[in-house]
A = this chain, B = another copy of it.
């Protein structure tokens, strides 16, 4: 192989990527790699079709081990990236490198197939449905599925809400009684032990459920959902097991006293409901399943439904139908269309409405319709108005939120890496969860007893559990209203409790402890959300700011009333700093607050806290995605990369098939290569392996064909008894090569790929620029893009990972491009 690299004079840019790449190689073993450097003639350079007026110094790399030639000037990148895995492996053998989790992509993550494979079978099937009746029926059934998604998500949300509230109340009531009794009788070790014991048992059960049933159910699931909507296949994410682990798990996490919420997991649960309803099939544990319909079994349709499910989940959690819709659409935005948007919005609205109805029914009167979501910030006893002079205070709070949010992310990142490296055994994970639950109880206990902040202000929630501990005269321990409740109740108390309910010392202690517990909890192997703890931390320090402002200006009694307003702003700042707000998060918070005039300061602080946080580190979810090495595509091609060409980033060489291919070749290729798509080329006996492109066939299709034995001895007509439904039956859990069993005779047969391959895959010419390749991937949701030469012969393949490996960072205000490694793990 021969490659030419052209270094332009002004190029800080692509050159820098190449430099990094070369440096990595060079530092280790320049001699080890089979290439050497020779100059390139001026003529050859002219061929490269660049600006001819400026002479540029050039290098030429000649590889000894391969014969074919790549004529493009930039292909050093392509070569090196395809050589990367080898280098990485070798590095590991030398024991030099410890894994840098945020500088790599993991090769196991594959892309969804949003593009429809328009092969002959598909066209045949479409013919059948090509009547007005079928079009209308299909349209109606899509709306019906969306409706069901909304209803079922709401049912789930209301059930979880009911169960958690009732059981948590029982638990804390029990503890409170022991507390109050033992404070008098000096047996406080009893409630402490009891609290820790309850937490330990429930949390360990929840952690075991998640760890053994489906580890994908850990955490809030939002980073996974976002990645899925971005177009990455996440195996196990949308299964029945994940559903069970997620829903039961989140109940146990909250009852187990962890600093987590049930709102994030709702988005995941809603998505699973949507995927299940879309597939029309439930898979149970031991391979059994019930199947109802199969019309929507492809990535395209399932992803559309899932957008509705995620939106419904968010909508029932926060009573935010618009925010939920935006949440789904901003990641899957390249596939936004008005029809889908309406359907997503519809299911989101149905979910909100049904949740409202059910929770109102639980609260006594189903026709009142005043609780559209599980958590709301709208119970303020005053109008949320703001004055221009308060804006600077809000901005100051936003900066604090951004900074502390960045700290949260950094600490959690360190912890995550530590966990990945050392706490990767199942039993250790479960023990850690139990430990966190016990420490949560112990610390809360210690604070309540140690600070003993007594107040006589009645808490906002008349059902709240308040313990007196050492307080007398009808007073109660102010921290008990924060700790003897779910994190959600704690948030509500911080927002709505009257002025002087919580003293500054209690609040400072609460912020510190809850911050640390929040960092420790997020990432445990339990089903848990990070929204509520973030909001609670922010509300606590926001309340502190409110108290401070009220003390600075004692002549204004309104400020005392406004302490909840500052708590709300603080909550928004903290959430913005940790998660880095997007449009959808802004809308969710505004909808949750139920007051649009006050939306303006909320939007301002969310934006500022995002900017401040982004200056230091990425957001929490993005950090998660990076650590897992999921190749999500950004919205635009990174800057400074626009003179990279398709041929520079493509994978090369290609594995191709002829239109009539020997079964043996297919079998061997599937076994040896990990590619998911193979170009099909014209069978040219003169130049084997060099024919014109005919189409693209997927690994999954080939496996089904092999499994169903759709082949025959050469010259005979194959028994054509396969339909598109046969392929769908294997969706979404595809076959593995190891499940294929072929006799030697069968291996000598040939397979006619013509009816199965996609006859018009997307292709680009090799000189196509990276930004435009990017647009194609984002705009069309591609999985494979074939790069062809001038004669329409396939040269290479661009996949999601080839693009995702260029990552832009804007740390500390400077634009930075890095090229990630692709690793196996």
Closest to A127 in B: B10
Are A336 and B334 also in contact (CB < 8 A) when A322-B322, A372-B600, A776-B780 are? yes
B779 & A349 in contact (Cβ 8 Å cutoff): no
A120 & B51 in contact (Cβ 8 Å cutoff): yes
A window 546-598: CB within 8 A of B: 582-583, 586-587, 590-591, 594-597
A814 within 8 A of B: yes
A717 smallest CB distance to B (angstroms): 11
A126 smallest CB distance to B (angstroms): 6
Binds B, one of A61-69, A175-183, A635-643: A635-643
Are A123 and B50 also in contact (CB < 8 A) when A368-B387, A594-B597 are? yes
A815 & B132 in contact (Cβ 8 Å cutoff): yes
Contacts of A288 in B (CB 8 A): none
Contacts of A128 in B (CB 8 A): 10
Partner among B49, B333, B583, B636 whose Cβ is within 8 Å of the Cβ of A759: B49
A window 598-613: CB within 8 A of B: 599-600, 603-604, 607
25 CB-based A-B contacts, threshold 8 Å: A10-B128, A11-B130, A12-B132, A49-B120, A132-B815, A136-B815, A139-B815, A322-B586, A325-B583, A333-B336, A337-B636, A339-B635, A339-B636, A341-B583, A345-B583, A349-B600, A353-B600, A367-B387, A369-B386, A369-B597, A372-B600, A596-B596, A760-B767, A760-B768, A762-B772
Closest to A9 in B: B127
A370 within 8 A of B: yes
Are A775 and B780 also in contact (CB < 8 A) when A10-B127, A337-B333, A366-B388 are? yes
A596 & B594 in contact (Cβ 8 Å cutoff): yes
Contacts of A11 in B (CB 8 A): 127, 130
B372 & A597 in contact (Cβ 8 Å cutoff): yes
A159 within 8 A of B: no
A725 within 8 A of B: no
The complex places the Cα of A639 from the Cα of B763 at a distance, in Å, of: 25
What 1/0 mask marks residues of chain A from 325 to 342 whose CB sits below 8 Å from any chain B CB?
100001001101111111
A765 within 8 A of B: yes
A309 smallest CB distance to B (angstroms): 18
Are A126 and B814 also in contact (CB < 8 A) when A339-B635, A387-B368, A387-B369 are? no
What 1/0 mask marks residues of chain A from 46 to 58 whose CB sits below 8 Å from any chain B CB?
0001110000000
Closest to A638 in B: B135
B597 & A370 in contact (Cβ 8 Å cutoff): yes
Contacts of A768 in B (CB 8 A): 760
Contacts of A336 in B (CB 8 A): 330, 333-334, 336, 635
Partner among B322, B333, B367 whose Cβ is within 8 Å of the Cβ of A587: B322
B387 & A321 in contact (Cβ 8 Å cutoff): no
What 1/0 mask marks residues of chain A from 773 to 802 whose CB sits below 8 Å from any chain B CB?
001101110000000001110000000000
A116 within 8 A of B: yes
The complex places the Cα of A370 from the Cα of B333 at a distance, in Å, of: 34
Are A635 and B337 also in contact (CB < 8 A) when A11-B127, A51-B120 are? yes
A interface residues, Cβ below 8 angstroms from B: 8, 10-13, 49-51, 115-116, 118, 120, 123-124, 126-128, 130-132, 135-136, 139, 319, 321-322, 325, 330, 333-334, 336-342, 345-346, 349, 352-353, 356-357, 366-370, 372, 378, 385-389, 582-583, 586-587, 590-591, 594-597, 599-600, 603-604, 607, 635-636, 639-640, 642-643, 692, 759-760, 762-765, 767-769, 771-772, 775-776, 778-780, 790-792, 813-815
Closest to A789 in B: B792
B771 & A116 in contact (Cβ 8 Å cutoff): yes
Contacts of A780 in B (CB 8 A): 775-776, 779
The complex places the Cα of A387 from the Cα of B813 at a distance, in Å, of: 51
The complex places the Cα of A372 from the Cα of B341 at a distance, in Å, of: 27
The complex places the Cα of A767 from the Cα of B779 at a distance, in Å, of: 21
Query: Given contacts A123-B643, A333-B333, A778-B779, could you give 13 more A-B pairs where the C-beta distance is less than 8 Å?
Result: A12-B130, A13-B130, A50-B123, A322-B586, A330-B336, A333-B338, A336-B336, A339-B635, A369-B387, A591-B596, A591-B599, A760-B767, A790-B792
A605 smallest CB distance to B (angstroms): 12
Contacts of A790 in B (CB 8 A): 692, 792
A613 smallest CB distance to B (angstroms): 14
The complex places the Cα of A12 from the Cα of B333 at a distance, in Å, of: 33
Are A51 and B124 also in contact (CB < 8 A) when A130-B640, A388-B369 are? yes
Partner among B127, B349, B635 whose Cβ is within 8 Å of the Cβ of A8: B127
A822 smallest CB distance to B (angstroms): 24
A582 & B338 in contact (Cβ 8 Å cutoff): yes
B769 & A765 in contact (Cβ 8 Å cutoff): no
The complex places the Cα of A786 from the Cα of B342 at a distance, in Å, of: 33
A590 & B322 in contact (Cβ 8 Å cutoff): yes
Are A813 and B372 also in contact (CB < 8 A) when A352-B600, A765-B760 are? no
